[in-house]
Amino acid sequence: MQFPKFQRRGLSSTSHFVVSILGPPNAGKSTLFNRLQCKEKNKAYLLGSSSKRARGRISSQSTSNGTAIVSPIANTTRDRRQCWGRIGGTEFALIDTAGVNGDRIQLLGNTKTDKHSLEKSMMSQTVKAAKEADLVLLMWDAKDGISHDLMATARWLRKLGMISKVAILANKLEGDSWAYQGSSVMKQLEDASRLGLGEAIPISALQGEGMADIALLIEEKKQQKLVGEDTDEQHRTNSLEKGSQEIEETKPLQMAVLGRQNVGKSTLINTLIQDDRVLTGPTPGLTRDAISIDHVWDNKAVQLVDTAGIRKFTKRLDESIEDMSVADALRAMKVAEVGVLVLDAQELYIHRQELAICSAIINEGRALVIAANKMDLLEMSSDFSPDDFADGVRKQLEDRIPILRNTPVVPMSCLTAEGVCNLLPVVMDAKNRWSRTVSTGLLNRWLKEVAAGTPPPVIGGIRAKLKYIIQAKGRPPTFLLFCNLGKLPGNISTLWNASSDPCQEKCN
């Protein structure tokens, strides 16, 4: 596994030590994942983001700070989520996985049926995490004892030949009330040592107890890897770092993929990177966590973020997993530079929910790109092409939200990959426009032109006079408009729809 983002920041090969967290469902894996996260390196930069919560149809009662979703409900985690980890002075790549049980392990070898496709996909992601790891932290709930799922997972890891890379953690052991000779917990720890994976380490991921033992374990395994590296490995690492220097030394473009449920967001991500990185399927609400994926396109670093489908607020339960997923999706939108809204072309019209997402992206000051997916399900002809469909989408957007005039629309089919290659060039162009600055002279010539064509209205018997305009900043483009009134009229946005914008004039 490669981490383009990690290489791009010039880190040495020692930072490619990978720690994967595995275990039965509801063992506390995501809680440990959140505790081991390096908050500084995983911190996304906010670009003038509003601190206010989204309101209306896409609002959420939950909050998200970028950590994995944690819930007492089993099987909350589905996708494989990775980030930077750090404990003490040791840094590493950290991977969270879905729960492993005996039934899912048996599904790995079953290729004759498509039943339980979701569980098979989840298990496939867990297999990748286990094989990529230099250290596997196998967790289990010590209060529940040695379960069949834990024993099945231990046998499966032994078959993979990973005994030397596995450490077993007995979680949910707060305090020391259990630590006396003859207690049921001590007997379970002794039974765990018979699994052939070494002595179990008692921890509490929630309270942070036992983290010192984990820190010593990770540092020891990391040093063993460094000692075991041969000349070929060092040469391969040097070649990898040399290639990573060719990537532009800038922050990656942050691109969040948003939309309603079951419109093809995860399929779009997989098609872009040409890998089954995130779970896909016909089941609505499959994605839960916002999964960040580092990608390199045209020698430029891009961070793709797959998000959960956003349903209307009234259709979600308060503090539910879905509501937490929506909160994570909204956080991804706030830290993005470009928001890609995926539409289902079969619907033939834009839903109110999608208009609400568009408004949220614009109000947050982010660039907007529309991806019209599932074009393969429409009947195209010489009289009606995909470009004609894109023009229709733009017309609907302009009629309902005039400020979204000329929003780029990319018709595509993520299933057949047709048109997907056109998305990232459009996203890059949208990001460049979003970062552009316009001279004051050009802005005021444009303002004079549009004001002459559409005179400002009269407010309280006084006609509004637009004196001049300046650009205060870029990313997102922010302008200050000066007039003779204390407050601008509410319909001043009609000016922006009266003529071409100054950024287009600058390009021409």
**What tens digit of pLDDT does each residue of 302-353 get?**
999 999 999 998 888 767 899 999 999 999 999 999 999 999 999 888 999 9
> Tens of pLDDT along 155-211?
999 988 888 899 999 999 998 878 888 888 888 899 898 888 889 999 999 999 999
Give the pLDDT confidence score for residue 51 in this predicted structure: 57
Task: Say whether pLDDT at 494 is over 60.
Answer: no
Mean pLDDT, residues 423-429: 96
Q: Mean pLDDT in the chain?
A: 84
Query: How far apart (Å, rounded) are the C-alpha atoms in residues 433 and 3?
Result: 28
Regarding predicted confidence, which is higher, 461 or 400? 400
Q: Could you tell me whether strands 135-141 and 253-259 are parallel, antiparallel, or unpaired per DSSP bridges?
A: unpaired
Residue 458 exposure: Cα atoms within 13 Å on the Cβ side: 3
Question: How would you class 312 by CB atoms within 10 Å of its CB: exposed for 0-12, middle for 13-18, buried for 19 or more?
Answer: middle
The pLDDT assigned to 231 comes to 45
Tell me the two tokens of residue 314.
Answer: 């009234």
Residues contacting residue 490 through CB under 8 Å, at least 6 positions apart: none
pLDDT exceeds 70 at position 224: yes
For position 196, what pLDDT does the model report?
A: 87
The average pLDDT across 68-75 equals: 90
pLDDT value at 284 more than 50: yes
Say yes or no to pLDDT of 257 above 60.
yes
Confidence of residue 52 (pLDDT cuts 50, 70, 90): low
Residue 71 in contact with residue 25, Cβ under 8 Å?
A: no
Average pLDDT (238-255) is 62
pLDDT tier at 253 (50, 70, 90 boundaries)? very high
